[in-house]
A and B are shown apart, each in its own frame.
Chain A
Amino acid sequence: MASISLRSLVRPSLPVAPRIQPIIIAAFSTTSLVSAAAPPAIKNRKDLPKKTKKTYKKKQNIVPVKKPAPGERKAFRKRIQLSNNSALPVAGLDALEAQTMARAESSGRMFAVPDEVVDQLRALEAFKSTQTWNLFRKPHVLVRKETVELMGRLEASLEKKEAFKCYQCQDLTNGNTEYSPVPDTEPMQFTQPVYCLKLLQNIYKANRAVLEKTPLKQDWSRLSATLKPGSTLADLALSAKESEFAWPTLSALWTELTQPGQPPVLLTLDGLAHINKVSAYRDPAFNPVHAHELLLVRTFVDALSGKTKLPNGGAVIAATSQNNTHFHPSQELALSQLEAGQAGKPVPKPDPYERKYDDRVYDALKNSTVMRLEGVSKEEARVLMEYWGASGMLRSVLDSRVVAEKWALGGHGIVGEMERASLITMRM
């Protein structure tokens, strides 16, 4: 009752009588509407009913398949699989320790890579998708004679290696990563902000334990407000959240690492020829940019040539190979001269008719030491193949003839080719 009384008080906003609209009611008929409807009138030939061709093909049952998301296929292709549960675990092999590789007696033996080292190496992108880590239960490495020699040299230069930087330099110069000019530089220099940010994060991931323990020596508060005087290198590495600040932060980190009293540094680079060429980048005047004008490359090259001193000890290692490379006359000349000098042979002279010599490259390389890497020896190949056999990958009888055959088929002991000849084209 109350509602009625209330409604009577409220003035209706739309005074519409409920029965004023016409109510449509179908007329009474026993035939349906459809049959009652007249066929469309035929006015010309087009309106004549058309013969339709009968199709006897069954419609395919289309099952909705989820297409892979963008980048998923590439991620699958580039994924790095470091273990395989189908492979047999290999017992009786020692784990790698800090001093193992430097010991002479560990030459020509297989070692298991500890899990934490695997994580570090993975962060540094040291594993490649082309390598056959996915055939074995756990990553193991063969310590070669050359490894022992190299590690011996590293030992001589530093007490304990602490920090890594690892470059894949093909990506730096083939124009696939962003670059931006550094203002007020002549000739113009460039940074690669996205690559630098990724590198910083990788450095942090791989060397977190060391970076967190090392305090900053200088005041870097202008880079980030979070950097207090007592902050550590880890804070510095983490302070770059955006790619614009990546290069200043990276250069700050490098400056810190070259201060006396900081941990020694190991700089490594694969694909030396790629950082010695003229890069695929162009400056605003559309002139090609020499790779040494890229600041990240410049940092490495200065360290390699000895222009930047490493007061805490450390090593700079650059690698080149016959694959994925190009001929660079200056690099070839420098390396051949260094090699001849080390072997005590007559030093080759530069070719007077060669026009493509590059003095910057020659100067960068002339103070280094060259170590030529060949395939593994037959004894090492045997150790490696015994490991394959123990993993259940090699089924044939393993004797000196088989070792010699695979060694020859693998181009005198190139491990990847030996794997191709014996594991990948497996004939069971």
Chain B
Amino acid sequence: MATMATGLRHAKCAGSIAAAQWRTAVLPRSTFSLAIRSITSDSQKTTPPNLEVEVAASVPIPYQGVTHARVVPATPSYFSREPQFNDLYIGISKLLTKYNHLPTVPPSEAPQMPWTKLEEMRAQMGEPIKASHYAKVMRVAKRLNLIEPSLRPQEVKVALTEFTRDINPFLNMPNPITIDKFGRAVGVGKRKESTARAFVVEGTGEILVNGKTLSEAFGRVHDRESAVWALTATQRLDKYNVWALVEGGGTTGQAEAITLAVAKALVAHEPALKTALRRAGCITRDPRTVERKKHGHVKARKMPAWVKR
């Protein structure tokens, strides 16, 4: 910030700086007869005094209406290391001073903004922005974002767009699952290589996986329990019927894909269960997959056995 303060210093006390910098004005010599030797030796004054006034009027007086001796930069950040960024900061700082009195909302209720990342901002502006400076600027921007959305002035909205990305990933929401006219909610879940679709209806606790009962579909009791875990964890096993289609992968993957699918469809029926399901681990997709094989390795990590020549 020291740089910025330095940058702003001359803006604050422009007068004194201007005074200090003011070069003493040296009037150029007049170009008229005073300096020209006349041929005639007689010192008769040919020019009447009114003529002098005329001449003086015809010579333009320099620096009329000029307050600065040189071109003053358009922005006070001109001499700073990060002028554009500095401008941004000055802009929103002024806005914050201006609108500091407006009521705010708690951070959890503020609109979600896709804030620009540091790297992105560096690339945008082509300036070596310091991370600490960036953090300070973002703090101001986030404070402005806390202003009650209905009372937010237009200029604040415009200013904040400078700090957001063009694409808002928070708008990229999945389509909400609806319950169709038969009372079905369809959820899709994935795990490893498996994909499952679960059709959940209100019922009596019958579960069919690919048209088979749980015991026919999964040999391991553990897998059967995972498949219905979303219902068991929320104590809804005897309230819904599930008809699931699952393909790809192995038994564990299929069972856990069904868990996710059933959980999503269940949330469509009862949105209030979402937190309980999240705590039960049925909402977040497990991103782990098979690690790719590398060259020089037998598998992902395994190295070939050492052979003596």
Interface string of B193-211 (1 = CB under 8 A from A): 0000000000011110000
Is residue A105 within 8 Å, beta carbon to beta carbon, of the partner chain? Answer: no
Q: Are A401 and B238 in contact (CB under 8 A)?
A: yes
Residue B260 lies at the interface, judged by CB distance under 8 Å to chain A? no
A401 touches B237 (CB 8 A): yes
Q: Which residues of chain A have C-beta atoms less than 8 A from B204's C-beta?
A: 378, 404
Interface size class of A (residues with CB under 8 A): 10 to 19
- Whether B257 sits at the interface, judged by CB under 8 Å, is no
The answer to whether B237 and A404 have CB atoms under 8 Å apart is yes
Q: Is A417's CB under 8 angstroms from B238's CB? A: no
Contacts A404-B205, A420-B221; A410 near B237 (Cβ below 8 A): no
**Count of chain A to chain B residue pairs whose CB atoms are closer than 8 Å in the complex:** 47
Docked complex Cα distance between A24 and B33 (Å): 173
Q: Are the C-beta atoms of A405 and B237 separated by less than 8 Å?
A: yes
For the complex, is B127 an interface residue (Cβ under 8 Å from A)? Answer: no
Q: Does B82 contact A (CB under 8 A)?
A: no
Q: Give chain A residues whose Cβ lies under 8 Å from the Cβ of B238.
A: 400-401, 404-405
Given A400-B238, A404-B237: A411 touches B205 (CB 8 Å cut-off): no
Q: How far is the CA of A322 from the CA of B216 in the complex (A)?
A: 10
**In the complex, what residues of B have CB within 8 A of residue A118's CB?**
none
A417 to B228, CA, bound (A): 16
B213's partner among A404, A411, A421, A425 (CB-CB below 8 A) is: A411
Contact of A409 with B by CB under 8 A:
yes
Q: List 8 A-B pairs, minimum CB-CB distance, nearest first.
A: A411-B215, A404-B238, A411-B213, A417-B215, A404-B205, A412-B213, A409-B224, A405-B237
Shortest distance between the CB of B300 and any CB in chain A (Å): 33
Interface residues of A in 393-423 (CB under 8 A from B): 400-401, 404-405, 407-412, 414, 417, 420-421
- The dominant DSSP class at the B interface is mixed
A408 touches B205 (CB 8 A): yes
From A410, A412, A420, A421, residue with most partner B Cβ within 10 Å: A412
Does A412 lie within 8 Å of B206, measured CB to CB? yes
Which A residues lie at the B interface, using CB under 8 A? Answer: 322, 375, 378, 400-401, 404-405, 407-412, 414, 417, 420-421, 425
B204, B215, B235: residue with the most chain A Cβ atoms closer than 10 Å: B215
Partner among A378, A400, A409, A425 whose Cβ is within 8 Å of the Cβ of B214: A409
Q: Is B225 an interface residue (CB 8 A)?
A: yes
Q: Are B206 and A408 in contact (CB under 8 A)?
A: yes
Known: A404-B205, A420-B221, A421-B224. A409 touches B215 (CB 8 A): yes
Complex partner residue of B225 from A400, A407, A409, A412, CB under 8 angstroms? A409
**Shortest distance from the beta carbon of A261 to any chain B beta carbon, whole Å:** 48
Instruction: State the Cβ distance, A286 to closest chain B Cβ, in Å.
Output: 39
B232 lies within 8 A of chain A by Cβ: yes
Q: Which chain A residue shows the least CB distance to B238?
A: A404
Residue interface bits B203-247, CB-to-A below 8 A is 1, else 0 = 011110000011110000100110010001001011000000000
A residues near B206, Cβ cutoff 8 Å? 408, 412
Considering the chains assembled together, what is the distance between the CA atoms of A405 and B204 in angstroms? 11
Known: A400-B238, A417-B215, A421-B221. A409 touches B205 (CB 8 A): no
**Chain A residues, CB < 8 A from B235:** 401
Contact assessment for B216 and A409 in the assembled complex, using a CB-CB cutoff below 8 Å = no
- If the complex has contacts A400-B238, A409-B221, A421-B221, are A414 and B232 also in contact, measured as CB distance less than 8 A? no
Given that A414-B215, A417-B215 are contacting pairs, would A408 and B237 also be in contact in the complex, using a CB cutoff of 8 Å? yes
Compute how far the CA of A400 lies from the CA of B232 in the bound complex, rounded to whole angstroms.
Answer: 13
Instruction: Select from chain B the residue with minimum beta-carbon distance to A409.
Output: B224
Bound complex: CA A417 to CA B215 (Å): 7
B212 to chain A, nearest CB (A): 8
Interchain residue pairs with CB less than 8 A apart (30): A322-B216, A378-B204, A400-B238, A401-B235, A401-B237, A401-B238, A404-B205, A404-B238, A405-B205, A405-B228, A405-B232, A405-B237, A405-B238, A407-B205, A408-B205, A408-B206, A408-B214, A408-B237, A409-B221, A409-B228, A410-B214, A410-B215, A411-B213, A411-B214, A411-B215, A411-B216, A412-B206, A412-B214, A417-B215, A425-B221
Closest CB in chain B relative to A257 CB, distance in Å: 40
Measured between beta carbons, the chain A residues less than 8 angstroms from B215 are: 409-412, 414, 417
Task: Report Cα–Cα, A420/B228, bound state, in Å.
Answer: 16
Contact A408-B216, Cβ < 8 Å, known A401-B235, A420-B221: no
Please measure, in the bound complex, the distance between the C-alpha atom of A405 and the C-alpha atom of B236, giving whole angstroms: 10
Q: Which residues of B contact A407 (CB under 8 A)?
A: 205
Pairwise interchain contact A408-B207, C-beta atoms closer than 8 A: yes
10 further interface pairs, Cβ-Cβ under 8 Å (given A400-B238, A404-B204, A412-B213): A401-B238, A404-B205, A405-B228, A405-B237, A407-B205, A408-B228, A408-B237, A409-B221, A411-B216, A412-B206
Q: How many angstroms between the C-alpha atoms of A407 and B241 in the bound complex?
A: 13
A408 vs chain B, min Cβ distance (A): 5
Alpha-carbon distance A404/B236, docked complex (angstroms):
10
**Closest A residue to B217 using CB positions:** A411
Most chain-B Cβ atoms within 10 A of its Cβ — which of A400, A408, A410, A414?
A408
Once bound together, how far apart are the Cα atoms of A221 and B216, in whole Å? 55
Closest partner residue, chain B, to A375 (CB atom): B213
Residues of A within 8 A of B237 (CB): 401, 404-405, 408
A residues in contact with B224, CB < 8 Å = 409, 421
Most central of A322, A378, A407, A409 by chain B CB within 10 Å:
A409
B236 → chain A, closest Cβ, in Å? 9
Chain B residues contacting A404 (CB-CB under 8 Å) are 204-205, 237-238
Considering the chains assembled together, what is the distance between the CA atoms of A412 and B205 in angstroms? Answer: 9
Chain B: CB-nearest residue to A410: B215
Q: Mark B244-269, 1 if CB is under 8 A from A, else 0.
A: 00000000000000000000000000
- Chain B residues near A408 (CB-CB < 8 A): 205-207, 214, 228, 237
